């Protein structure tokens, strides 16, 4: 289950999360790391220190705790993407990459210290048990979860578990004034990585990929096939805010667009053991038609492999802002206690030879604040603010100049839309006020919504449902002051989000993006005017 249905790119919320768990490439095709000659001596020394502490230290202390902290300390001396995941967190950390997780199958939010069911996953254990949109979870396995300042991680820790195990919930259902007990058996929940795909017009398709999981290539192939059956002749492929995932998924997805034997990506490690090159194989499903790829500063890792492969092979026009800049490959190593080490074992290079890994020579702290520095320097608003290193110029197969040195530079720059990061809209979204209003509306109008089509709903003006008054009431309870001036400035975003989120809860992810993309996604809007340029690339 996730708490990530909010699809907008909100700079004030996300800048602090630039290096997330998703910025990992799982290089599952390599063997175990090579041991150095001095490893045994170093390990013996570490064992001596730990044994001395365990046997002789004056105060009681957990050796397990020391080991955990010691591992973290060692990794701080390495690159920013080598990471350690404790055993209790590996299942949750790998869920998005596997494409499934074991749990009860709900999307939830924590609003004002209350766990609210946003959406029971279709055909999942919770929906089958009778859990509904808007239910409040009061207790989990006889433990009260009210008034304990619980966060999202605290919820997932309690709800995730082995398939077949049982979770006892007590929920409060608004309007019923009763507490209802549920006994739910955990199951395997499929978690697709394609958030949406639909036809924008009679010839233009759109696909939004959230991450690169084990099933992503299959999902993309199926989406392309369905869109082609509906008349798609050109595609907008949205990788904005996609923080990456499996390298193999990036290769297979790139292969759908690139002709046989063209280079997709190469990698080079400390030893030749980790050197490799990946080329397009069999005929892809969309090799000759115009493609536009959308990226931004949160597009990282596997997203950059795809964008770089399509750009260097002159197979797609890249639109948006400079990507994150992660060009390191991690090997996931399972440790004996169930924990996992994700060790950087190689750098990858785009077909033209670019390394797009940004520098981390000044330490992980400065690296973590790179996006903040870009924002301060004005890069998000002006392409002229991007520092391009002339010595890192490369050529695409068609002779266009592209640059290495940190991220994929877009062919067409689209500045950050300041209206989409307005403080009122961001505050209301971050506080859960907009979600609360949406859930309240859906609960009250569920039967009417199910009785109409998405097209009929899209044509309605939400103001007639008095949503502004509901929002003012919720915001007041959260101590958020809304002036008339601020509301008017953000009204299009606020009403657009509420309408799109209502549509998502009733009709799914496609409905959300159909409504929200034209309102908030400036790169999306710009891309629709650029297909002549994208088509010209296919002539090379």
- What would the pLDDT profile of 491-525 be if each residue is shown by its tens digit? 888 888 999 999 999 999 999 999 999 998 999 99
Q: What percent of the chain has pLDDT over 90?
A: 46
Query: CATH code at 155?
Result: 2.30.42.10
| Rg (alpha carbons) of the chain, rounded to whole number | 25
Q: Which domain holds residue 301?
A: 194-330+345-417
pLDDT computed for residue 227 by the predictor: 98
Q: Any residues with CB less than 8 A from the CB of 281 and at least 6 apart, and which?
A: 255, 260
Catalytic residue status for 267: no
The reply to whether 432 falls in a domain is yes
Do 376 and 433 lie in one domain? The reply is no
Among 100, 241, 254, 330, which one carries the catalytic annotation?
330
Q: Are 80 and 195 in contact (CB under 8 A)?
A: no
Do 321 and 450 lie in one domain? The reply is no
Least confident segment among 73-82, 234-243, 307-316, 518-527: 73-82
Mean pLDDT confidence for 166-173: 93
The rounded mean pLDDT for the chain is 86
The reply to whether 32 falls in a domain is no
pLDDT digits (tens, 9 = 90+) for 338-383: 889 999 999 999 999 999 999 888 887 888 888 888 888 888 888 8
Do 434 and 484 lie in one domain? The reply is yes
Of 373, 400, 417, at which residue does a domain stop? 417
Q: What percent of the chain has pLDDT over 70?
A: 91
Q: Are 19 and 298 in contact (CB under 8 A)?
A: no
Catalytic residue status for 266: no
Do 215 and 322 lie in one domain? The reply is yes
Residue 29 has pLDDT above 90, yes or no: no
Q: Any residues with CB less than 8 A from the CB of 19 and at least 6 apart, and which?
A: 80, 81, 367, 368
pTM above 0.95, yes or no: no
Confidence of residue 161 (pLDDT cuts 50, 70, 90): confident
Query: Measuring CA to CA, which residue among 212, 202, 438, 421 is closest to residue 307?
Result: 212
Report the number of distinct structural domains present in the chain: 3
Do 221 and 270 lie in one domain? The reply is yes
344 CB neighbour count, 10 Å cutoff? 20
Query: CATH code at 245?
Result: 3.90.226.10
Among 301, 323, 490, 527, which one carries the catalytic annotation?
301
* Angle (CA) 249 253 255, round 5°: 120
Do 485 and 497 lie in one domain? The reply is yes
Do 314 and 359 lie in one domain? The reply is yes
pLDDT computed for residue 176 by the predictor: 78
Strands 114-120 and 106-111, bridge-based pairing:
antiparallel
The residues pairing with 295 across neighbouring beta strands, listed in sequence order, are: 320
Mean pLDDT confidence for 216-232: 97
Of 396, 417, 438, at which residue does a domain stop? 417
Of 386, 417, 448, at which residue does a domain stop? 417
Strands 166-172 and 179-185, bridge-based pairing:
antiparallel
Do 390 and 448 lie in one domain? The reply is no
Mean pLDDT confidence for 90-94: 74
Describe the crossing of helices 484-507 and 467-477 by its angle, rounded to 10 degrees.
Answer: 110
Catalytic residue status for 330: yes
């Amino acid at each position: 289950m996730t708490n990530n249905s909010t699809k907008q790119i909100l700079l004030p919320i996300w800048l602090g999360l630039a290096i997330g768990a998703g910025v990992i490439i799982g290089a599952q095709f390599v063997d175990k790391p090579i041991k150095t000659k001095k490893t045994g001596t170093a390990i013996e020394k570490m064992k001596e220190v730990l044994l001395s502490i365990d046997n002789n230290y004056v105060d009681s202390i957990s050796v397990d705790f020391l080991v955990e902290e010691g591992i973290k300390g060692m990794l701080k001396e390495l690159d920013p993407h080598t990471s350690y995941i404790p055993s209790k967190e590996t299942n949750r950390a790998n869920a998005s990459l596997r494409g499934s997780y074991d749990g009860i199958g709900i999307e939830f939010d924590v609003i004002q210290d209350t766990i609210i069911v946003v959406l029971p996953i279709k055909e999942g254990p919770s929906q089958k048990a009778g859990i509904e949109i808007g239910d409040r979870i009061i207790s989990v396995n006889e433990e009260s979860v009210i008034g304990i300042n619980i966060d999202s991680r605290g919820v997932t820790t309690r709800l995730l578990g082995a398939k077949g195990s049982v979770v006892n919930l007590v929920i409060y259902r608004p309007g019923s004034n009763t507490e209802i007990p549920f006994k739910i058996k955990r199951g395997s929940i499929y978690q697709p990585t394609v958030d949406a795909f639909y036809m924008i017009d009679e010839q233009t398709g759109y696909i939004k990929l959230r991450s690169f999981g084990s099933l992503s290539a299959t999902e993309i192939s199926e989406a392309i096939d369905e869109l082609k059956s509906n008349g798609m002749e050109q595609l907008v492929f949205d990788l904005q805010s996609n923080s990456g995932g499996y390298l193999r998924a990036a290769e297979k997805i790139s292969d759908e667009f690139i002709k046989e034997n063209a280079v997709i990506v190469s990698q080079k490690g400390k030893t030749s053991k980790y050197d490799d090159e990946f080329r397009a194989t069999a005929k892809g499903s969309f090799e000759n038609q115009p493609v536009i790829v959308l990226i931004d500063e949160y597009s990282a890792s596997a997203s950059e492999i795809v964008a770089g492969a399509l750009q260097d092979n002159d197979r797609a026009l890249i639109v948006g802002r400079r990507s994150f800049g992660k060009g390191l490959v991690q090997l996931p190593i399972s440790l004996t206690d169930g924990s996992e080490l994700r060790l950087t074992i190689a750098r990858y290079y785009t077909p033209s030879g670019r390394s797009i890994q940004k520098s981390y020579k000044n330490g992980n702290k400065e690296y973590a604040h790179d996006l903040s520095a870009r924002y301060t320097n004005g890069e998000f608003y002006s392409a002229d603010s991007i520092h391009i290193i002339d010595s890192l110029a490369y050529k695409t197969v068609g002779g266009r100049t592209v640059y290495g040195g940190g991220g994929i530079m877009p062919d067409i720059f689209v500045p950050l839309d300041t209206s989409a990061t307005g403080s009122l809209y961001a505050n209301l979204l971050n506080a859960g006020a907009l979600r609360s209003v949406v859930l309240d509306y859906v609960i009250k109008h569920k039967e009417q919504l199910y009785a109409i089509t998405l097209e009929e709903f899209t044509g309605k003006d939400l103001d007639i449902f008095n949503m502004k008054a509901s929002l003012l009431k919720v915001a007041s309870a959260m101590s958020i002051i809304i002036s008339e001036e601020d509301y008017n400035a953000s009204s299009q975003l606020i009403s657009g989000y509420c309408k799109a989120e209502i549509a998502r809860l009733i009709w799914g992810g496609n409905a959300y993006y159909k409504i929200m993309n034209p309102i908030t996604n400036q790169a999306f809007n710009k891309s629709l005017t650029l297909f002549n340029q994208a088509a010209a690339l296919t002539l090379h």
